[in-house]
Amino acid sequence: MSIRSFLPGRLGFGTAPLGNMFRAIPEEEAAATVNAAWEQGVRYFDTAPFYGAGLSEIRLGTALADRPRDEFVLSTKVGRVILDEVEDPSARDLGEKGGLFAHGRPNEIVNDYSADATLRSIEDSLKRLRTDRLDIVWVHDVAQDFYGDEWLAAYESARTGAFRVLQRLRDEGVIKAWGLGVNRVEPLELTLDLDEPKPDAFLLAGRYTLLDHERALQRLLPAAQEQNVDIVVGGPYSSGVLAGGQHFEYQKAPAGIVAKVERVKELAPQHGVGIKAAALQFSLAHPAVAAVIPGASRPSRVAEDAAALGEKIPAAFWAALRAEGLIAQGAPAPGV
């Protein structure tokens, strides 16, 4: 099923920050941020057990508990099972994402993409989210940034385990759609080449943004479009560096990226454009992209996102970015 048939708008809310990503967020601030998203008309919420070892799911579930379940779309992920046993969050091996959720819950996180673990993960997520059903389930992080040279082994485990379970659950009507949620294009390209099972959509974080889109543009997005596999873009602000933060790919932004951001920031006001508007609208301009899900940990940020989506951006701005090689020649731009 195309997720466009049930997604309630093109702007969703990515809840990784609610898992205490980068910093410890007070409970009331987390709740106020979800409420702000709701007040702005956001009705699609994405989370994962990985975000703070269940913390994001717990907070999201609490914030949405009194909202009518038929009025919003919910996605979470499988591939990590959260145990009752505790560990040192700062000592976890998170591949390239080391220390990302050092402020999250101390519960032990086990990587497991098997059929049994997938079913258990869904069951646990339903409890944390205080709901009776999930709309979309993503297979989380079967890619190089977490598993290095072992990523294909993790992928194969998911292909024979999680993929098949999720396809069955979708066919039985237990969930509406499934796919992969990753930060790299290769696992998605691999999945599109499979005869079976067939995903409905992909959540691609950080790889179709103003700062990084050439690779996805070449093969992945055209192939996804051809196969009617929708793309949800996560991390449209590239871990925050496009929204005033200092992180790119969840780490301190390198000099080359900072220079690129500075140039975009110089051009944007010359055309009366906000950088958040440029980032969100660029990601949404590709016809393969169904929605974009920026994260936020402060209520004011959500209002900025909603406003950015409605901003009018002149064609001359995109032409200026293209002329300086800041966006690829073949990348669609809104209204151009």
Q: Which of 44, 46, 145, 155 is catalytic?
A: 46
Cα-to-chain-centroid distance, residue 308: 18
Q: What percent helix, strand, coil does the chain show, rounded to 5?
A: 45, 15, 40
Give the bridge partners for 180, in sequence order.
139, 202
Q: What CA–CA distance (Å, rounded) separates 86 from 105?
A: 8
Query: Is 77 an active-site residue?
Result: yes
Q: Of 51, 113, 237, 250, which residue is the catalytic one?
A: 51
Considering the candidates 44, 70, 77, 88, report the single residue annotated as catalytic: 77
Q: Is 160 helix (H, G, I), strand (E, B) or coil?
A: helix
How does pLDDT run across 271-326, given as a tens digit for each residue?
999 999 999 999 999 999 999 999 988 899 999 999 999 999 999 999 999 999 99
Average pLDDT value for residue range 69-98:
88
Confidence of residue 253 (pLDDT cuts 50, 70, 90): confident
Confidence (pTM):
0.96
- Among this protein's residues, is 208 annotated catalytic? no
Q: What is the pLDDT of residues 13-62, one digit of tens each?
A: 999 999 988 889 999 999 999 999 999 999 999 999 999 999 999 999 99
Bridge partners of 292, per DSSP, are 11, 233
Q: For residues 53 and 309, give the distance between their C-alpha atoms in angstroms, rounded to a whole number.
A: 31
Asked about 46 being catalytic, the answer comes back as: yes
Tokens of 97: 């994402």
Structure tokens, 296:
């936020």
Lowest-confidence region among 172-176, 243-247, 260-264: 243-247
Q: DSSP letter string over 57-85?
A: HHHHHHHHTTS-GGG-EEEEEESEEEEEE
How far are the Cα atoms of 17, 112, 324 from residue 79, in angstroms, in the given order?
19, 5, 41
Between CA 160 and CA 117 the distance in angstroms is: 12
Task: Quickly count: other Cβ atoms within 10 Å of residue 90's Cβ.
Answer: 11
